[in-house]
């Protein structure tokens, strides 16, 4: 587990696979324990189904987080949950275009602002983009909507989550693997959504480039930032922590000049 510097804000993003491990075995207790152990200020979860609200170590009465300081958006199977120990003054929830029945996609955008003596405002978007549309158009539309929700002029923005999009440059073998499966590797479909936000000025904050973040050996979980003027990235990496079919991302930020 990476050690935190004094005064940092830790953001964790994790697709918890409906509280199951990569083999489909129930692992909710183990996952909750590991999330708590990550010692995060902000936790962004994908595929955290509605059981999250009941007796969870994060949101329940015995939780590490204030039960009144988390938001969730509900879908039949896929839920994006946003938890925060810090004061939230603005929250937006949005259900992007969905192309598969029963798999609602969602995003939570929050503005974290405390007092003048506290760290500067930080906008965080927790996303979970489409996985089924082979053209990538669904992810492009979802990413565009996220950018609209955030607003082009807003500073200190971090977007984290399961993009279901990946670069062939991350794993050279993937291009040949996909091409052998008949995938049009030159269409940009694999990068759709990720490339959309990059075109909007977002850049990766990962200090250690992960080899993979999901069981299929692809890097589909990302942390991107734009206009991070008042914060510096201390550390950002994927952790080889079992419990889900995805690995968690941990991003440590520190206010500049403090």
Q: What pLDDT was estimated at residue 55? A: 43
Q: What is the pTM of this model?
A: 0.88
9-255 CATH fold: Deoxyribonuclease I; Chain A (3.60.10)
Read off the pLDDT of residues 143-183 as tens digits, 9 standing for 90 and up.
998 888 888 777 899 999 999 999 887 667 888 888 888 87
Q: Do 156 and 228 meet the contact criterion of CB atoms below 8 Å apart?
A: yes
Domain boundaries, the chain: 9-255
CB-based contact 100:59 (threshold 8 Å):
no
Whether 70 and 110 have beta carbons less than 8 Å apart is answered as: no
Among 65, 202, 78, smallest CA distance to 129 is for 78
- Using the CB atoms, write b or e for 215-241: b if 16+ within 10 Å: eeebbbbbbbbbebebbebbbbbbbeb
Render pLDDT for 226-237 as a digit per residue (tens, 0 to 9).
999 999 999 999
The confidence score (pLDDT) of residue 149 equals: 81
Among residues 175, 141, 146, which one has the least CA distance to residue 160?
146
Q: Is a pLDDT exceeding 60 seen at residue 134?
A: yes
Q: What is the pLDDT of residues 37-85, one digit of tens each?
A: 888 888 888 888 755 554 456 655 445 555 444 555 555 556 666 665 5
Question: What average pLDDT score do residues 241-247 get?
Answer: 93
Which pLDDT score is estimated for 122?
Answer: 83
């Amino acid at each position: 587990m990476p050690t935190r510097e004094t005064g940092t804000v830790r953001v964790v993003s994790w697709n918890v696979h409906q509280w199951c491990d990569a083999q489909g075995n129930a692992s909710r207790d183990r996952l909750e324990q590991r999330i708590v152990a990550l010692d995060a200020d902000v936790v962004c979860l994908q595929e955290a189904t509605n059981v999250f609200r009941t007796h969870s170590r994060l949101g329940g009465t015995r939780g590490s987080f204030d039960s009144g300081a988390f938001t969730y958006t509900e879908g039949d199977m896929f839920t994006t949950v946003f938890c925060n120990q810090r004061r939230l003054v603005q929250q937006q929830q949005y259900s992007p275009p969905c192309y598969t029945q029963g798999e609602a996609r969602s995003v939570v955008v929050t503005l974290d602002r405390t007092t003048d003596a506290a760290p500067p405002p930080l906008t965080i978007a927790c996303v979970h983009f489409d996985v089924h549309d082979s053209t990538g158009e669904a992810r492009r539309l979802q990413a565009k909507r996220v950018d609209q929700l955030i607003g082009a002029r807003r500073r200190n923005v971090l977007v984290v989550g399961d993009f279901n999009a990946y670069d062939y440059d991350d794993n050279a073998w993937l291009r040949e693997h996909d091409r052998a499966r008949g995938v049009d590797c030159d269409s940009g479909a694999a990068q759709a959504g990720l490339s959309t936000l990059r075109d909007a000025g977002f850049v990766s904050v990962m200090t250690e480039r992960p080899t993979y973040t999901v069981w299929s050996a692809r890097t589909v979980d990302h942390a991107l930032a734009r206009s991070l003027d008042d914060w510096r990235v201390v550390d950002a990496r994927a952790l080889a922590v079992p419990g889900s079919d995805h690995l968690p991302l941990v991003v440590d930020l520190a206010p500049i000049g403090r």
